[in-house]
Amino acid sequence: MKKLKVNTGRKYDIIIDRGIIDHCGEYIKSVSSPTRVAVITDSNVHALYSQGVIASLKQSGFIVSEFVFKAGETSKNFRTIEAMYSHLADNNVTRKDMILALGGGVTGDMAGFVAATYLRGIEFIQVPTSLLAQVDSSVGGKTGYDIKQGKNLVGAFWQPSLVLIDPDTLNTLPQRYINDGMAEVIKYGCIKSLGLFRLLKKGMDQLDIENIIFRCVYIKRDIVQNDEKESGERKLLNFGHTIGHALEKIYEYKKLSHGEAVAIGMVMMSRASEAEGVSSKGTAAKIAELCRTYNLPTYDEASLRDIAFASQSDKKTSGRDIDIVILNSIGKARVKKISQRDFQHYLETAEEQ
């Protein structure tokens, strides 16, 4: 078992342990005492893990209800959120009760937003079952949903009361979604840890995944504690995401997974900053090579004009400017402010090299 404490406005523990998902009720009882627990999950995860989770919750004395939505990013909208609110109201969930988010990033983001806004805020627990959620989205309190203008444009900061990470759940993931999560792992190496970046070159078969999860969560924990509401250092976590979110929007969340889009974004941004003379020579090639190790794409045919246009509605825009994350070198990142008008030209400099 590995354990980390997060000292944000709401202090909570992150516990990483194999098999922990089947004992979630005991852990919840140790940090809170709700009468009811509403499990929110998607159709894929429901079939795999709901039975065990609900049994553990009931064994610990909780009254349990479950809301299941259709799996996929296309469900991450207000229609699903509204249905979640109705489920909570119909099942008499009160301010003293709790939501349990069981699933990947889509589930955690929406369940967290519902927890932040239902009855002006109730407790929730994150039980992430995808690699992407385990290394990134389940920690830090970012919640939200998509609207047609862009990804995660509606949301709230709402920290969980506990995060329970069970690496064994990764055994049921299709390989594409292991690779999807590895894009976020690569991101952590790029922005904060040259050692992690080098370790990842070994390939998936040679990695201790429990250790990898811990290292990523450790980095994110430290960043979030320093900058809970993303006014400074936390912006570094968006490396590759401006372009990534734009690509997801262009393809209506169907062609590329989040991690695949972020991988492309990291390579494109590094090529541009390398062409500008900010990033060390060869940075983009190193990132691209590592992405290919995990079968992640490094290029997309979408036009730079379309990418720049789609990025205008990104949540990282401020007035007429947008914050982009660039690397001085692997493991050392910084935020650069650029005008939306110049963003396309900035990307084009890499194409001209």
DSSP codes, 51-102 = HHHHHHHHHTT-EEEEEEE-SSGGG-SHHHHHHHHHHHHHTT--TT-EEEEE
Q: Per-residue pLDDT for 316 more than 80?
A: no
Task: Judge whether residue 3 has pLDDT over 70.
Answer: yes
Output the CA torsion sign for 95, 23, 17, 175.
negative
Indicate the average pLDDT of the chain.
95
Residue with tokens 């997974």: 257
Percent of the chain with pLDDT over 90: 92
Cα 69 from Cα 74, distance rounded (Å): 11
What's phi and psi for 309, nearest 5 deg? Answer: -65, -45
Query: What is the percentage of the chain residues whose pLDDT exceeds 70?
Result: 99
Q: What angle do CA 158, 164, 166 make, to 5 degrees?
A: 140
pTM, two decimals, is 0.95
pLDDT tens per residue across span 150-161: 899 999 999 999
Question: What pLDDT score was predicted for residue 352?
Answer: 54
Fold: same for 2-172 and 182-199+211-351: no
pLDDT digits (tens, 9 = 90+) for 234-283: 999 999 999 999 999 999 999 999 999 999 999 999 999 999 999 999 99
pLDDT at 320: 81
Architecture of domain 2-172: 3-Layer(aba) Sandwich (3.40)
176-224: per-residue pLDDT in tens?
999 999 999 999 999 999 999 999 999 999 999 999 999 999 999 999 9
* Distance from C-alpha of 335 to C-alpha of 333, rounded to nearest angstrom: 7
Q: Please report, for residues 57, 93, 94, 109, the alpha-carbon distance to residue 64 in angstroms, rounded to integers and kept in the order given.
A: 7, 10, 13, 21
Q: Where are the domains of the chain?
A: 2-172, 182-199+211-351
Distance CA 50, CA 54 (A): 6
Q: Is the pLDDT of residue 350 over 80?
A: no
Amino acid, res. 137? S
What is the homologous superfamily of the domain 182-199+211-351 according to CATH? Dehydroquinate synthase-like - alpha domain (1.20.1090.10)
Contact 274, 283 (CB under 8 A): yes
Tokens linked to 142: 């970012």
pLDDT at 353 over 80: no
Average pLDDT in the 65-69 region?
Answer: 98
The letter for the amino acid at 264 is: I
If you ran DSSP here, which 8-state letter would residue 41 be given?
A: E
Q: Phi, psi at residue 322, to the nearest 5°?
A: -135, 140
pLDDT bucket at 319, cuts 50 / 70 / 90:
confident
The torsion angles phi and psi of 295, rounded to 5 degrees, stand at: 55, 35
331-348 tens-digit pLDDT: 999 999 999 889 998 999
- pLDDT-based confidence at residue 89 (cuts at 50, 70, 90): very high
